Copies of this chain bind each other. A is one copy, B any other.
Amino acid sequence: MTHPSMQPLYDAYEPIASLLSILEVLHWDQEVMMPNGAASQRAEQLAALQATIQEKMNHPSLEEKLVLAESSEAELSHIEKADLRELRRSLERSKKLPPSLVKELAKQEVLAVHEWADARKKEDFSLFSPSLERFIDLKQQYADALRSEKMSRYDALLQDYEPGESEDSISALFGPLQQHVVELLQKIQAAPLKTSTKLLQGTFPAKEQERFLRSILPSFGFSFEEGRLDTSTHPFCAGSGADVRITTRYDEGEISDALFGVIHETGHALYEQGIQRDRIFSPAGTSASLGLHESQSRLWENMVGRSLPFWKHFYPKLQESFPSFQEIPLQGFWHAVNHVEPSFIRTQADEVTYNLHIIMRFDLERALIAGDLKVKDLPQAWNERFQQDFGLLPPNDRLGVLQDIHWASGLFGYFPTYALGNLYAAQWFERIEKELPQIHELIEKGELLPLREWLKSNIHCHGRVFLARDLCQRVTEKELSVQPFVRYLFDKYAQLYQFSS
């Protein structure tokens, strides 16, 4: 039974959430379908829709309804309370941001992405730096508008992606994570067994890759009745509820990009398809955080998709689709898809060194936002840090500081969510091994639905009713920590590279 004070609030919020979900459709369309020439027309459409959403959020009648519901908070269910909390959070954010700044940021994003793309192509950071400087200035204003006294600017930016986290709370995890990863990397590099990704190269027609992926996705519980798989320059997942769309790109000379990319995006998609369906247009009917979202994609991609049991079932099917694999034993394939080696590009990194990419970006972007690092010094800072952490010097900025679109899109505070995702994923997986002790046998038989059901009923269905850390405590009965992930990595790679963990 919905509390009578909540119904008017739900009625008022539902159209706002519907309009927000239209943004997702437009975003997908823009990346996958929109004609090239329509970019500025689309920008106008998006600006109009976003402004309309903000108007609706800022309309006094919404806050009146919210205040009324808050006054009977004691009588509300925990879900209704969560809806109040989330709506209050959005409202405060929306009220504090000057509309002129919102507009300026939207404009700057279009400009900066364009200049970043150009700079990246020409491998010339100086073409991007004025735009990046301006963006950091705007993001500092943005943070100042939003932050409370005890928050740093970076803390304020984090709230957009990982509500409740702070520089300190994340540093407390990333410090030990860095140490353990470096230690593991040394063990791997010293191990007697050498691996390589060479045997993942060959000839893999895009059509055949797509056919294979479409054939295995239903095993994960991905429903084509409520979703799509398409091609785009950068893979992503968009949408919610009954309309969740994932994209990939096909490299016809290399199979792992699309293979693990699609499994990754499927993890995101299952989360969105799994949020309690009749709540997706409620304030807390969304994902708990980006880190939580990423925990789903990484769990499926790495803990399931790169595991030996998974391939015991699926490798014969892959061999059927791509006969060149018939000469390669399962063990060799498993080694190849888990090959660890420091490399320049984050999105192509293995699951060990990936964390170093993130921690480095976390440190650099904090320094940029704090004003401790100037944009003009960024390429050098990047290269020095990269040399230090990876033992490699990027030969150019395309393979270095210009590789990611995030800063050009104004996404400061976003990177850490990727590594938080790893931590959450491992903590879920330890719990799953406890509650579903036969999980590895199930995966070995290709039976992935019990895992999907566990994730749905323990994590997905709640949406943002619980914040990420609270959900972690609730589900795993433990605080979030680096230990499960470190244990997972050491166990897996000790077995793979044949050293003692």
- State the A residues within 8 Å of B (CB): 14-16, 18-19, 21-22, 25-26, 29, 33-38, 40-42, 44-45, 47-49, 51-52, 56, 223-228, 241-243, 245, 280-281
Contact = CB atoms under 8 A, between A and B. Distances in A.
A33 B228 contact: yes
B35 A47 contact: no
Interface centre among A14, A35, A47, A241 (most CB of B within 10 A): A35
B242 A49 contact: no
A281 B223 CA distance: 38
Given A18-B44, A29-B29, A48-B18, A37 B225 contact: yes
A281 B242 contact: no
A11 to B, nearest CB: 11
Contacts of A18: 44-45, 47-49
Contacts of A22: 22, 26, 45, 48-49
A41 B242 contact: yes
A33 B223 CA distance: 15
A227 B15 contact: no
Contacts of A34: 243
Most B C-beta atoms less than 10 A away, residue of A45, A49, A56, A281: A45
5 contacts: A18-B47, A18-B49, A35-B242, A37-B226, A42-B243
Given A15-B51, A22-B26, A47-B18, A41 B224 contact: no
B26 A242 contact: no
Contacts of A228: 33, 35
Nearest to A52: B52
Contacts of A242: 35, 37-38, 40-41
A439 B51 CA distance: 48
Nearest to A240: B41
Given A35-B223, A35-B245, 20 more contacts: A14-B44, A15-B51, A15-B52, A16-B48, A19-B49, A19-B52, A21-B41, A21-B45, A22-B22, A22-B48, A33-B33, A34-B243, A37-B223, A37-B226, A38-B241, A41-B243, A41-B280, A42-B243, A44-B281, A52-B56
A258 to B, nearest CB: 20
B226 A48 contact: no
Contacts of A225: 35-37
A328 B224 CA distance: 44
A277 to B, nearest CB: 9
A226 B240 CA distance: 28
Number of copies of this chain that the complex holds: 2
B226 A38 contact: yes
A35 to B, nearest CB: 5
Contacts of A14: 44, 48
A280 B45 CA distance: 12
A237 to B, nearest CB: 14
Nearest to A280: B41
A242 B56 CA distance: 29
Contacts of A19: 45, 48-49, 52
* A-B CB proximity, top 10 nearest: A18-B48, A38-B243, A15-B48, A37-B225, A37-B226, A38-B242, A41-B242, A37-B242, A18-B45, A18-B44
Contact of A25 (B15, B26, B51, B243): B26
A41 B21 CA distance: 10
Contacts of A25: 25-26, 29, 45
Contacts of A21: 41, 45
A36 B223 CA distance: 10
Contacts of A37: 223, 225-226, 242-243
A369 B290 CA distance: 54
Contacts of A280: 41
Nearest to A22: B45
Nearest to A277: B41
A37 B40 CA distance: 31
Contacts of A48: 14-16, 18-19, 22
A241 to B, nearest CB: 5
Contacts of A224: 35
Contacts of A42: 243
Nearest to A225: B37
A33 B29 CA distance: 10
Contacts of A44: 14, 18, 281
A225 B41 CA distance: 13
Contacts of A51: 15
B281 A35 contact: no
A345 to B, nearest CB: 31
